[in-house]
Chains A and B, each alone.
Chain A
Amino acid sequence: MTRIGFRLALAYRSNIIMTCVALVAQVFLLRMIWTSVYGSRPAAAGLTLDALLAYLTLANLQAFVTHTIVSRIIHDRIRTGMVFFDLARPVGYLRQMAGFQAGNTLGGLLLLAPVIPVVLLVGSITVPVNGAGYVITLVLGYVIAVQLALLISLIGFWTMEIGAVSLLYRLVSQFFAGTMVPLAFFPGFLGVVAEILPFKYMGYVPAAVYVGHISDISGPVVVELAWIAGLWGLLVLTWSRAHRRVVIQGG
């Protein structure tokens, strides 16, 4: 399954190349906007411009990496009835799908690799303040991203149609991940919501650890592990109900 996901990423090369071009454009746009608003200010919300630009570059690269297509695949397979074949395999369904997503991400990473220097050049990067902490929080954040995507996909077993829900999920999660604005800038109520939601672990937290905005990672790591455990339980529970509801469309 992992290999299939990997191959799929490579098969849709042109798609991913377009995403890469859009990524470069996005990073450039953000750099110009933020440079302009900072003007001659040395720092805002505890971030210097250099740190902020490095943050934004990383957060956008991460958004590319933590982008999950598994819900779209599950949705398609439920709609066409192909999900039958997945269920007939002697490996747990969720494990197959998680494996698929992991392979797909690896394929995407492979294609992204040559673009990374361009992105870093267009954006900006600094030496990591806490490299190990960055990797740890990012990997855990990725696990949360996949779990959430799977959870969203399972809704399809009840409603058959999740196109709109997953689009909404993508928009909201991207926004609250802090891909374009670090959470430190979110005002009042919006800031509270963003702090509570788990999306920040896909973008803000790892990138903020990297640039040294978050210095103590023990707190975030514990909360991330708690999210993973909680989502794990929720997934198992939801799946045990969902697979009894399976309707195979077509035949």
Chain B
Amino acid sequence: MAEVLRALRLYVMLQRASARGAMQYRMNTVIGILSGAIWQGTGFAFIWVVMHTFPSLAGWGLAEIAFLYGLRLTAHALAMIPLMSVNDIHWVVRNGEFDRFLLRPLNPLVQLMGNRMGIAQFGDLIVGVTLLAVAGRNAAVQWNVWLIAFCFIAIVGGALIEAAFFLALCSLSLRMVDTFALRVFVDDIFSKFGSYPMKIFGGAVEWLLTFVVPVAFVAYVPSSVVLGKLDGPWALVAPLLGVVLIVLAYLIWRRQLDHYQSVGH
């Protein structure tokens, strides 16, 4: 426990330093956040335009889709803000920089995460939270403390699912398997297909998105529960799956780490 707390404290210090670094290029940071927000904004504008003509998408109204979209986006931002710098792992390994991480008395993954924060993902966060807030008021939901608490847990659960896939794929880079293209693809699947009711895909694809790459559990299942489209017991599946997957992903990371061989510099 003390070990974890110490890692956490050091992580916060590393991130503070990286935030100070980012603020040196203030304009760049602001533009990064803005472009993230606009990117997601045009994504949602598409849904808005379509639903202007067609009020229902597989039985979901505009406010309900907006809620689903917002939940997915917030979970995505929460997963990627701390993990963004792990995306560079291939370069870190190839430059031999990773050897330095191994020499320092702090979990190498924490060091890697501490390199820099995801900047554009703060834009995702802004759009996601805004959508959630606006849609949450407009959708026919009886809000109470438990439901709000559930939303928080569901967002964290969704973030863990996405983070688990990302981390597991990244860790393969420790053995010089470049998974960058695969990561872009998986991210694409999560972001493209995760924001819509799974029903519209039908058959095989719906099954794939539920059981193979569990995109459905990031936002679709939790929002269905909140919006009263799915029974209560399903509520716990998504966060539980998130915890299980992230533990698995960390075990994979540890296993790949055991097999790490320096490029030798």
Q: Enumerate chain A interface residues (CB-CB to B < 8 A).
A: 14, 17-18, 21-22, 25-26, 28-29, 32-38, 44-45, 163-164, 167-168, 171-172, 174-175, 180-181, 185-187, 190
Which residues does chain B contribute within 8 Å of A45, judged by CB atoms?
53
The size bracket of the interface on B is 20 to 34
Within 8 A of A (CB), among B38-58: 38-39, 42, 45-46, 49-54, 56-58
Which residues does chain A contribute within 8 Å of B58, judged by CB atoms?
36
Say whether B188 faces chain A, with CB atoms less than 8 Å apart.
yes
Say whether B192 faces chain A, with CB atoms less than 8 Å apart.
yes
Which one, B52, B56, B192, contacts A29 given CB within 8 A? B192
Say whether B202 faces chain A, with CB atoms less than 8 Å apart.
yes
Which A residue sits closest to B36, measured CB to CB? Answer: A167
- The complex places the Cα of A175 from the Cα of B38 at a distance, in Å, of 11
Query: Are B57 and A18 touching (Cβ within 8 A)?
Result: no
Interchain nearest-CB distance for A238 vs B (Å): 23
With A167-B35, A168-B35, A181-B49 given, can you name 17 additional A-B contacts, CB distance below 8 Å?
A: A18-B184, A22-B188, A26-B192, A28-B205, A29-B193, A29-B196, A32-B201, A34-B50, A36-B200, A37-B50, A37-B53, A44-B54, A45-B53, A172-B42, A185-B52, A186-B49, A187-B53
Say whether B185 faces chain A, with CB atoms less than 8 Å apart.
yes
Say whether B181 faces chain A, with CB atoms less than 8 Å apart.
yes
Which residues does chain B contribute within 8 Å of A187, judged by CB atoms?
49, 52-53
Which A residue sits closest to B46, measured CB to CB? Answer: A180
Secondary structure of the A contact surface, majority rule = helix
Say whether B189 faces chain A, with CB atoms less than 8 Å apart.
yes
Which residues does chain A contribute within 8 Å of B199, judged by CB atoms?
36
Report 29 cross-chain contacts, Cβ distance below 8 Å, ordered by A residue.
A18-B184, A22-B184, A22-B185, A22-B188, A25-B189, A25-B193, A32-B196, A32-B201, A33-B50, A33-B196, A36-B57, A36-B199, A36-B200, A37-B51, A37-B56, A38-B54, A44-B54, A163-B31, A164-B32, A164-B35, A171-B35, A171-B39, A175-B42, A180-B46, A181-B46, A185-B50, A186-B49, A187-B49, A187-B52
Interchain nearest-CB distance for A92 vs B (Å): 32
Which residues does chain A contribute within 8 Å of B200, judged by CB atoms?
32-33, 35-36
Secondary structure of the B contact surface, majority rule = helix
Within 8 A of A (CB), among B159-197: 181, 184-185, 188-189, 192-193, 196
Which A residue sits closest to B49, measured CB to CB? Answer: A181
Q: Enumerate chain B interface residues (CB-CB to A < 8 A).
A: 31-32, 34-35, 38-39, 42, 45-46, 49-54, 56-58, 181, 184-185, 188-189, 192-193, 196, 199-202, 205
Which residues does chain A contribute within 8 Å of B50, judged by CB atoms?
33-34, 37, 181, 185
Which residues does chain A contribute within 8 Å of B181, judged by CB atoms?
14, 17-18
- The complex places the Cα of A246 from the Cα of B252 at a distance, in Å, of 52
Which residues does chain B contribute within 8 Å of A190, judged by CB atoms?
49
- The complex places the Cα of A33 from the Cα of B54 at a distance, in Å, of 11
- Closest 9 A-B residue pairs measured CB to CB? A37-B54, A36-B200, A164-B31, A187-B52, A180-B46, A175-B42, A181-B49, A32-B200, A171-B42
Interchain nearest-CB distance for A28 vs B (Å): 8
Interface centre among A36, A171, A186 (most CB of B within 10 A): A36
Which residues does chain B contribute within 8 Å of A185, judged by CB atoms?
49-50, 52-53
- The complex places the Cα of A185 from the Cα of B54 at a distance, in Å, of 10
Which residues does chain B contribute within 8 Å of A26, judged by CB atoms?
192
Which residues does chain B contribute within 8 Å of A21, judged by CB atoms?
185, 188
Which B residue sits closest to A21, measured CB to CB? Answer: B185
Query: Are A25 and B192 touching (Cβ within 8 A)?
Result: yes
Which residues does chain B contribute within 8 Å of A29, judged by CB atoms?
192-193, 196
Query: Are A168 and B53 touching (Cβ within 8 A)?
Result: no
Which residues does chain A contribute within 8 Å of B188, judged by CB atoms?
21-22, 25
Interface centre among B38, B53, B185, B196 (most CB of A within 10 A): B53
- The complex places the Cα of A93 from the Cα of B142 at a distance, in Å, of 63
Which residues does chain B contribute within 8 Å of A167, judged by CB atoms?
35, 39
Query: Are A33 and B57 touching (Cβ within 8 A)?
Result: yes
Which residues does chain B contribute within 8 Å of A181, judged by CB atoms?
46, 49-50
Interchain nearest-CB distance for B74 vs A (Å): 21
Query: Are A175 and B45 touching (Cβ within 8 A)?
Result: yes
Interchain nearest-CB distance for B170 vs A (Å): 17
Which residues does chain A contribute within 8 Å of B192, judged by CB atoms?
25-26, 29
Query: Are A18 and B49 touching (Cβ within 8 A)?
Result: no
Which residues does chain B contribute within 8 Å of A171, judged by CB atoms?
35, 38-39, 42
Which residues does chain B contribute within 8 Å of A37, judged by CB atoms?
50-51, 53-54, 56-57
Which A residue sits closest to B201, measured CB to CB? Answer: A32
- The complex places the Cα of A186 from the Cα of B46 at a distance, in Å, of 10
Query: Are B38 and A168 touching (Cβ within 8 A)?
Result: yes
- The complex places the Cα of A22 from the Cα of B201 at a distance, in Å, of 17
